[in-house]
Chains A and B, each alone.
Chain A
Amino acid sequence: NAGVTQTPKFQVLKTGQSMTLQCAQDMNHNSMYWYRQDPGMGLRLIYYSASEGTTDKGEVPNGYNVSRLNKREFSLRLESAAPSQTSVYFCASSSGQYREKLFFGSGTQLSVL
């Protein structure tokens, strides 16, 4: 029962470096999401994909790009990392009926120096 798997779990970047956070789910879910969690601000939606082949911006999309590679995988890319992107990143998925709960990955702790 893997559920939602995120890699890596920890990452340290220098300002200006790029990286891709990977996310995969094995529950045949249609919808996938990327959130960031910052102290005192809860979780904020970066991008989401309602179904394979579609993506849409969330609340804080600037500085990020996403790719819905197939139904299972949804990646988040930082092209030129900035210290303001230091955060914990969560991937989540749901069946796509919206009213159902989200299943979350265990998060990626990213530090940008």
Chain B
Amino acid sequence: AQTVTQSQPEMSVQEAETVTLSCTYDTSESDYYLFWYKQPPSRQMILVIRQEAYKQQNATENRFSVNFQKAAKSFSLKISDSQLGDAAMYFCAYLPGNTGKLIFGQGTTLQVKP
């Protein structure tokens, strides 16, 4: 079965510092996509970043970047210059290439300290 594991239930970072959230996944598929979603206290799910498995280059979106290690099945999210507005729960998610069944990890709650 395909699974996504986020081993850090909670993380904290000082404002303006950098933090990395970990995610590992298990799959035998070769075609898939990986996502990081942010869920602030408003409960709204917001897409942060997306990575296609066939691309070797790591995706970046402004202060957010990923370290995609396909052989290790690892997909970590790095947040640079952390801001108070980054405080939220972050979910790693895996999407098999041939279905719409997005599979989520358990989530990591990020606290940003002023």
Contact = CB atoms under 8 A, between A and B. Distances in A.
Interface of A: 31, 33, 35, 40-45, 48, 50, 58-59, 88, 90, 92, 94, 96, 98-99, 101-102, 104, 106-107
A56 to B, nearest CB: 9
A99 B97 contact: yes
B45 A58 contact: no
Chain B contact residues: helix, strand, loop or mixed: loop
Contacts, number: 53
Contacts of B67: none
Interface stretch (B14-22, B56-64, B71-79, B101-109): B101-109
Interface of B: 4, 6, 9, 33, 35, 42-45, 47, 50, 52, 91, 95, 97-107
Max chain A CB contacts within 10 Å: which of B42, B43, B91?
A: B43
A91 B12 CA distance: 30
A58 B47 CA distance: 21
A2 B113 CA distance: 33
Contacts of B101: 45, 48, 58-59
Contacts of B107: 40, 42
Contact of B43 (A31, A44, A102, A107): A107
A108 B105 CA distance: 20
Nearest to A45: B101
